Structure 1
Amino acid sequence: MYVLAINGSPRKGGNTEVLLNKVLEPLDKAGWETELYQLGGKNIRGCIACMKCFENKNGKCAVDSDKLNEVYEKMVRADAIVIGSPTYFTDVTAEIKALIDRSGLVAIANDRQLAGKIGGAVVAVRRGGATHVFDTINHLYQISGMIIPGATYWNMGYGLDKGEVKEDGEGMVNMYNLGECIAWLGKAIKPHLDSFPKVDNSHG
């Protein structure tokens, strides 16, 4: 099985990266293929609402001049997706917001390509606003029909300077537990994904 961790922080080696790597530790031990994708600081623009994804239905965004389609291809292949962001004015970074808006729409336009996958949200924060970031990421998972595992707390770690989050013992334990829960959940649901419920608009 394959887990994709997406780092929305532009700060290489920062606290968001530390937290994501902690989530990946137990998954790596469980034999999963793990990848940490650096999105923060890369070229990715917001959705332009062209709606071409509904016309083309090719599993791609029509705007192909940035990194969206590269990371979206990995999201479609992944069994689990963990999106991490630092807290910018009580919300996700601009790169993660662009990812949510565009990947979410492309997925919906292509028969809910993300449905049935596992989704985890990870937040690095100095002091306040982390719950809003956590909610923003989880909103993508919820509308996409993804499965959100629990852990020992909401998935946030506290720290400002690079590596400072390692001193948040409770936060680091929670990240490891999140990885364990994803590994367990993946093993439990993998045999049943073919029977995952499809959307039936006749009941609307």
Structure 2
Amino acid sequence: MHDADAKAQLRDSITQRMQRLTDAQKAAESRTLCRELLPHIPKGSTVCAYYPMKSEADIRMLLDELLLRGDNVFLPCFENNRLIFRKIEDFADLHKGALGVLEPKQNAKELEKETADIILVPGRAFDYAGNRMGRGNGGYDRWIAKHRKAHANTKCIGVALECQIVGSVPTESHDEPMDAIVTARGYKETMPRE
């Protein structure tokens, strides 16, 4: 089976799994994974994260904690078909973007030359080898590849609900691996990158 076909089938399978998950189950898993993840983010970190869509682990509790302790938190937005990260100080700094997701306003500081210590990456599916499948447009993969080229020590952590973990994610040459995966069951380092 061609990788694109395998990915399409996996996306469909994950969508079905997500639909079986109740809101209460998703909320409980999200709270637990936030507690699992927090100790792996050193205080004072610069963190690129995401504001959750309905089909993603809800990390707002974690974002609140990072902001309260004074970490630098950047969230994504799409401008001119380009993924960029802008700093937030508070959820009041967000507005509904072009994709209908809350994102930082255009006047917020953009992550440019600063190094992101940690990138919290959403996705459709993950495996414990560090492979990730996104929504199919490659935005995160391109951004992560560019950032890693300039900042090799940045740690990419895949954030997933249990139903998004599979035995093996089909990959292509442009897919960027995760350094760790976090779920409600815990934080797991993946194979080291070359």
Normalised TM-score (structure 2): 0.41
Q: Normalising to structure 1: TM-score of the pair? A: 0.39
The structure with the largest helix share of the pair is: 1
